[in-house]
Every structure is written in C-alpha cells, then in structure tokens.
C-alpha cells in the first residue's frame, strides 16, 4: 500500500518539471563554471598586459642607459684617435670619467685599455690585465667599430657584477690601439626595478641573449651571472620572436609564473617581467570558491523544493554575475621628451644632432647634420641669434641663452629656447658651439595671452586703464619732444545706472560693448588709443591732434551712439542711449608746468560741463574756460 502510494506520488510529479529542474541545475553549474574560468582568463590576460608594459618600459630604460654610455664612449674613442694616449690626454680623460661617474649614478666605471689589456685610467686595476676578457678579445680580433655589449663580469675595482659596453679605438696606422670600456652596475639595474610594484612575489630580470642573467629583482646577488639558457624562453622556437607572453615554471625558485619577455632590437638583451601565478590568482580563487559554493547551495535548494526557488536562483545568478564584473585599469609608462642637442662648427654647419630633433623640429638627425645651423630660424630673429653665435665664435662670450622662432617640418612654426656654450680645443681656441634647445611654444602662447589680459579690458576688448595710463605718459613725452599737440576725449554713457536698473546688467554689458565698438571704429591711426577708463566711462587718446580735430572725432562718436538707437526710456536726454563727451588738447612743449594729469583733468571738467549742460553733447576744454570767464565777468 505504501509502495503503491509512493508510486502514485511519483506519477503525479510531472516528468517535464523534473527534467526542467535537472537541466536548470546543470545549466547553472555549467554557466557559473564557464564564467569563473573566463574571469580567471581575464585576470591572466590583464597580468600579461601589465607585464608587457613593464617589460617594454624597462627594455627602453636599459637601451637608454646603454645609449648614454655609448655617447660618452664614442666621444672618448674619437678623442683618443685624434690625440693618442699620451699622459696629458689620459689625465684629462680620467678627470672627465670621474665627473661623469659623479653626475650619473648609472655609470659604474669608465676606462681606457691599451692594446696589451692594461687600464690607463683606472688606478684600482693597476697590475691587472683585461687581455683575457671576452670584450677585449672581441675588439682585438674584430675590425668592427660598433659598440659591443658583453656578458656580465665582476669588476676589478670593487668585485661588483657589471654590464660592459665597449668600443675599439685604432692607432694612426689603423691597427688595434685598445678599448674604451664603460660599465653599468647590476645592482643599479636591480635597485631601479624595485620601484615597479607588480606583486609581492614578482620579479624582473634582464638577461644576455644567450641566457646569462645580468640583473634581477629580487635576490640580484643570488642570481646574477647564472645561466638560464636551458629554459623554455631560449629553447622553444615559438618564443624566439621579439616579444610575447608565456607561462612557465621558474628554474630559479620553482614558482609557476605569468610573464612577458621583450628582446631588445639594438642590444643583445632580453627583459623578462614575471608575477607569481598563485599569488595573481589568489583573489580570484577566493572569490570564485565563495561564488561557486553559493551557486551550489542554490542548485541544491532548487533540486529540493523545485520551482518554488527558481526566482531565488535567478537572483543568485544575477548576484554572481555582478560579483564577477571587474574593470582593469593600467598605467602606461612613457618617457618625457628630451631636449634637442646640436653641435655647431665654426662654419656654422651642424656637426651633430641628437635623435630628439624629430620631436622638437620634426626632422631626423641625419637630415639636419651638415645643414646651416640658422637655416630654419625666422628671418626677424636670425640677426640676433647670428650676433650671439659670432660673439661666441670670437671668444667674447662663453655661454648664452636665446629665444627665437624656428620652422617645424609638420607645424608652421615653433618657439625654441636654446642654451649655448662654446667648445674649445686643447690649445684653448674655440672650435664650435654646443646648443641645447627645447620647445617653448605653449609657454610663449601663455605669455602672449597673459600680456593681452594685462592691457585689455575683458568686457569691451578696448585697452584697460593700466594701458591707457602707460600710453598717456608715452604720448605726452613724444608730443613734448616733437613739439606737437596731444588730444584727449573722455566719454561717459548718460544715466547708465538707470539703464542697468531698468534693463539688467547683461543688457548693460551689451550696451557698453556697442559703445566701445563705435569708439573703436574711430581709431584711424596706429597711435590712436581707445580705452575703457572705468565703469561706463571711456577715453580716447589722439596724438598729434588739436582741439578742432578732437571736437570732430568726439562729435562723430556722440552722433554715432545716438544714431545706434539703443532704447533707454529713463534717459531725459532722449529715448535712446546717449553719451556725453569732454575733450581737451594741449601742446606739452608750451606748457612746461603741466603734466599728464592736467590733460585728464581738463577733459574731465569738459565732460562734467557737458553733463551739467544737459548731456548728449560735446564740450571742449576751451569752451569750458570761456564759459567760466563769462560767469566770473558777470
């Protein structure tokens, strides 16, 4: 009976509902697992991208460091092949080496080695020979003159592991003369890598192309000099490309790592940035376990109570989906543009141009070398620059700084600031000029804008009070010197406060701009100046203009404002906006006791006389004096 009842109960359970529950549980588990795996892949891809950015930046740093060494080595080679290895030359080079080591912390040592392997410039290596070193044998047997980057070796000076960069120099007969050697400390590179915080168990390694470790962070002292040539990075043909990401188990510490490698295109270097895979996935793993446990609990509940909890399962899935949504933010490392360095010969042709010329003036260095140094300078600025260079060539100046406009290949024109210094031969005679130039175009634009703001009224575009006062003094002095007349008009908008009260300040501003435009239209000569004197009051300075000329211009302005027909219902002088104008003119040379203030006062009195006479009129200072004389006579 019980069995029958149970069977009857099962029969009442819709098979379709059971199948739906089973399929739902399987689907939930499958989708959740797939999403967690996709989230895991996203974490790994994000780490690969971050490692790629680090590897590219540090490869660039290594190349720049070697380039910096090579620039110095090239100069020393050139000097040795010209001056030889006499004691004076070696003494000067030793001083130069000491200065460079002090100025640049990345330089570990600099040395000149003769054809027998003896150091000529490093006192700490006296009695030791470099003849057995691989870099020395390379240059001794090879006629190549390019830079050679060697395996990491222990320095004879202090026992530190260093990376060597060397060039061969020849004797006058073309035979092997020796080697100029520059080194970078492995510790310097390791310490530099410490600033890249990409994980607690991460590592950055720079290796020679055959697998010898040059520097590593962390545990540099433990791993430098070791070979990893038998690892996947150097054995797998699929990884012999310029760069790429791969996963591997480190032979150094046994940790499974996510990494990105970058092979230098210019030097036999391989940069490897890695992060511990377990450490990287630990946050994801913890979150994934929590999420999967939650999903599993939901699936069990669905299997027990069926369709009653379907909606709860859906909400749980939405919550799980929300939990696994993440956004990746990565910061790209970039080098700031460097200044352009040029060397100008006595013939004023460019002897050397640094690669940064492409950023500063748009031309590559090889396109500029041999050309006229001043060819791209603006014609108006060229005489000034030419005078400075001539003075330096003649020994009248050791250094100078000059700002000028220069043609840019892709832009119309740029502003450059160049710091110049003479270079001299051993005998003290000038043999050229070195110039360090940088683009200051944006700075110049800002300066121009600030200068404009300092002398221009922001509302009307006319000159401001400060500019007016400066020009008044200048024109007064000029009129005094040339024995000419100087005219001034003071213009005031009638009942402007009432206009503002009735129509609002925006309308008041628009009114002032219209009046300013009318006044500006009367500026017919270069020397004339229209200015906003303050509030609704304007001034117009008219050099070499007598009283009659002032009156004509003032009357035109008054009439034009009236004819503009700006509605002003509160103006007793008319239903439109009007102005009162006061004018004055004088000859400074004939009025020795007068000054600029007297001219302004005279025009101001005339303005107030015009206002007192009913506004919307022009009064000249002479008329005011006549009226005052008549009034006193009565």
**Residue 87: helix, strand or coil by DSSP?**
helix
Which helix (H) or strand (E) is 258 found in, with range? strand 256-263
Q: How far is CA 400 from CA 344, 407, 599, in A?
A: 14, 21, 45
Note the pLDDT tens digit of each residue in 471-487: 999 999 999 999 999 99
pLDDT over 90 (residue 583):
yes
**Domain harbouring 251, CATH code:** 3.30.450.20
**Domain harbouring 575, CATH code:** 3.30.70.270
Average pLDDT, the chain: 80
Give phi and psi for 175, each to the nearest 5: -80, 170
CB distance 211 to 231 below 8 Å: yes
For range 177-206, the mean pLDDT: 79
pLDDT at 49 (0 to 100): 81
For range 117-121, the mean pLDDT: 80
| Size of the chain in residues | 634
State the Cα torsion 287-289-295-296 to the nearest 10°. Answer: -170
Q: Is residue 493 part of a domain?
A: yes
Note the pLDDT tens digit of each residue in 352-399: 888 888 888 878 888 888 888 888 888 888 888 888 888 888 878 888
Q: Is residue 175 part of a domain?
A: yes
CA distance 73 to 153: 19
Same domain, 217 and 123: yes
Q: Is the peptide bond before 238 cis (omega within 30 degrees of 0)?
A: no
Q: Is residue 23 part of a domain?
A: no
Note the pLDDT tens digit of each residue in 404-416: 888 887 777 888 8
**At 504, is the pLDDT very low, low, confident or very high (cuts 50, 70, 90)?**
very high
The residue among 102 and 539 whose pLDDT is bigger is 539
Helix, strand, coil % in the chain, rounded to nearest 5: 50, 25, 30
Instruction: State which of 264, 294, 327 marks the end of a domain.
Output: 327
Same domain, 436 and 471: no
Same domain, 115 and 217: yes
Q: Is residue 16 part of a domain?
A: no
Q: How far is CA 176 from CA 40, 78, 314, 568, in A?
A: 59, 14, 81, 96
Neighbours of 113 (CB within 10 A): 26
DSSP letter assigned to residue 336: P
**Residue 259: helix, strand or coil by DSSP?**
strand
Q: Is residue 219 part of a domain?
A: yes
β-strand partners of 161 = 154
CA distance 493 to 511: 9
C-alpha closest to that of 398 among 388, 407, 408: 388
Same domain, 321 and 345: no
Q: Is residue 13 part of a domain?
A: no
pLDDT at 335 (0 to 100): 32
Q: Is residue 563 part of a domain?
A: yes
pLDDT at 315 (0 to 100): 58
Note the pLDDT tens digit of each residue in 2-52: 544 544 444 454 566 677 778 888 888 888 888 877 877 787 787 778 778
pLDDT over 50 (residue 417):
yes
Q: What is the DSSP string of 403-435?
A: EEEE--SSSS-EEEEEEEEEEE-TTS-EEEEEE
For range 337-362, the mean pLDDT: 82
DSSP letter assigned to residue 147: -
Same domain, 201 and 87: yes
Same domain, 482 and 397: no
Same domain, 550 and 615: yes
Note the pLDDT tens digit of each residue in 435-448: 888 877 777 777 66
| Strands of 120-242, DSSP E | 148-149, 153-154, 161-170, 176-185, 203-208, 213-217
CA distance 328 to 46: 7
- Give the 3-state DSSP-derived string for 438-495, with helices as H, strands as E and coil as C: EECHHHHHHHHHHHHHHHECCCCCCECHHHHHHHHHHHHHHHHHHCCCEEEEEEEECC
CA distance 608 to 621: 11
**Residue 165: helix, strand or coil by DSSP?**
strand
pLDDT at 334 (0 to 100): 25
pLDDT at 123 (0 to 100): 63
Same domain, 530 and 551: yes
CB distance 344 to 433 below 8 Å: yes
Instruction: State which of 295, 327, 359 marks the end of a domain.
Output: 327
In terms of Cβ atoms closer than 10 Å to its own Cβ (0-12, 13-18, 19+), residue 549 is middle
Same domain, 253 and 299: yes
For range 215-233, the mean pLDDT: 80
Same domain, 373 and 314: no
Same domain, 500 and 610: yes
For range 92-118, the mean pLDDT: 78
Note the pLDDT tens digit of each residue in 135-157: 888 888 888 888 888 888 887 77
Q: Is residue 603 part of a domain?
A: yes
pLDDT at 581 (0 to 100): 95
pLDDT over 60 (residue 629):
yes
pLDDT over 60 (residue 336):
no
User: Is the Cα dihedral 371, 373, 377, 380 positive or negative?
Assistant: negative
CB distance 196 to 58 below 8 Å: yes
C-alpha closest to that of 412 among 387, 385, 436, 376: 376
Same domain, 463 and 495: yes
Q: Which domain holds residue 379?
A: 341-446
Note the pLDDT tens digit of each residue in 508-542: 999 999 999 999 999 888 889 999 998 899 999 99
Could you give the number of structural domains in the chain?
A: 3
pLDDT over 50 (residue 329):
no
Neighbouring residues of 430: CB distance < 8 A, sequence distance ≥ 6: 346, 392, 393, 394, 395, 422, 423, 424
Instruction: State which of 292, 327, 362 marks the end of a domain.
Output: 327
Q: Comparing 34-43, 64-73, 305-314, 408-417, which segment has the lowest mean pLDDT? A: 305-314
Neighbours of 521 (CB within 10 A): 12
Angle at 58 between CA 56 and CA 62, to 5 degrees: 115
pLDDT over 60 (residue 313):
no
pLDDT over 90 (residue 551):
yes
């Amino acid at each position: 009976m019980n069995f029958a009842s149970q069977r009857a109960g099962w029969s009442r359970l819709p098979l379709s509902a059971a199948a739906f529950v089973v399929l739902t549980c399987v689907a939930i588990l499958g989708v959740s697992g797939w999403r967690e795996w996709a989230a895991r892949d996203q974490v790994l891809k994000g780490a690969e991208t971050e490692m790629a950015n680090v590897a590219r930046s540090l490869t660039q740093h290594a190349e720049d460091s070697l380039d910096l060494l090579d620039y110095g080595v090239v100069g020393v080679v050139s000097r040795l092949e010209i001056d030889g290895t006499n004691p004076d030359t070696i003494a000067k080079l030793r001083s130069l080496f000491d200065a460079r080591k002090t100025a640049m912390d990345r330089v570990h040592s600099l040395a000149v080695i003769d054809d027998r392997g003896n150091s000529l410039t490093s006192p700490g290596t006296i009695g030791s020979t470099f003849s057995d070193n691989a870099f020395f044998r390379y240059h001794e047997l090879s006629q190549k003159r390019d830079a050679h980057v060697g395996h990491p070796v222990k320095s004879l000076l202090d026992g530190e592991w260093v990376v060597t960069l060397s060039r061969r120099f020849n004797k006058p007969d073309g035979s092997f003369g020796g080697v100029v050697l520059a080194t970078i400390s492995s510790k310097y590179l390791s310490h530099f890598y410490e600033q890249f915080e990409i994980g607690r168990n991460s590592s950055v390694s720079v290796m020679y192309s055959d697998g010898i470790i040059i520097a590593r962070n962390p545990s540099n002292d433990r791993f430098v000099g070791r070979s990893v040539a038998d690892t996947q990075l150097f054995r797998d043909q699929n990884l012999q490309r310029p760069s790429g990401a791969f996963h591997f188990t480190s032979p150094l510490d046994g940790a499974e790592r996510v990494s990105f490698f970058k092979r230098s295109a210019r030097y036999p270097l391989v940069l490897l940035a890695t992060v511990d895979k377990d450490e990287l996935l630990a946050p994801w793993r913890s979150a994934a376990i929590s999420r999967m446990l939650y999903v599993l609990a939901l699936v069990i509940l669905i299997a027990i109570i069926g369709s009653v909890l379907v909606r709860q399962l859906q909400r749980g899935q939405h919550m799980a989906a929300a939990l696994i949504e993440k956004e990746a933010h990565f910061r790209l490392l970039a080098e700031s543009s460097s200044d352009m360095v040029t060397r100008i010969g006595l013939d004023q042709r460019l002897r050397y141009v640094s690669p940064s010329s492409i950023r500063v003036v748009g031309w590559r260095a090889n396109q500029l070398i041999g050309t006229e140094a001043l060819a791209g300078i603006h014609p108006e600025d060229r005489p000034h620059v030419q005078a400075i260079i001539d003075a330096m060539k003649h020994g009248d100046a050791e250094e100078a700084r000059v700002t000028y406009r220069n043609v840019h290949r892709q832009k119309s024109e740029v502003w450059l600031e160049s710091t110049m210094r003479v270079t001299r031969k051993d005998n003290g005679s000038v043999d050229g000029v070195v110039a360090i130039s940088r683009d200051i175009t944006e700075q110049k634009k800002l300066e121009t804008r600030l200068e404009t703001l300092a002398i221009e009224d922001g509302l009307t575009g006319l000159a401001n009070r400060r500019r007016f006062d400066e020009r008044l003094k200048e024109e007064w002095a000029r009129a005094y010197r040339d024995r000419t007349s100087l005219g001034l008009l003071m213009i005031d908008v009638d009942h402007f406060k009432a206009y503002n009260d009735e129509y609002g300040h925006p309308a008041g501003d628009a009114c002032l701009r219209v009046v300013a435009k009318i006044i500006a239209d009367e500026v017919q000569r270069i020397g004339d100046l229209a200015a906003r004197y303050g509030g609704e009051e304007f001034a117009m300075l008219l050099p070499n203009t007598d009283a009659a000329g002032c009156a004509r211009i003032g009357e035109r302005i008054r009439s034009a404002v009236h004819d503009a027909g700006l509605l002003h219902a509160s103006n007793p002088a008319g239903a439109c906006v009007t102005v009162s104008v006061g004018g004055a003119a004088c000859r400074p040379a004939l009025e020795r006791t007068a000054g600029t203030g007297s001219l302004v006062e005279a025009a101001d009195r005339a303005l107030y006389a015009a206002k007192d006479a009913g506004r919307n009129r022009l009064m000249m200072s002479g008329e005011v004096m006549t009226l005052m004389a008549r009034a006193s006579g009565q």
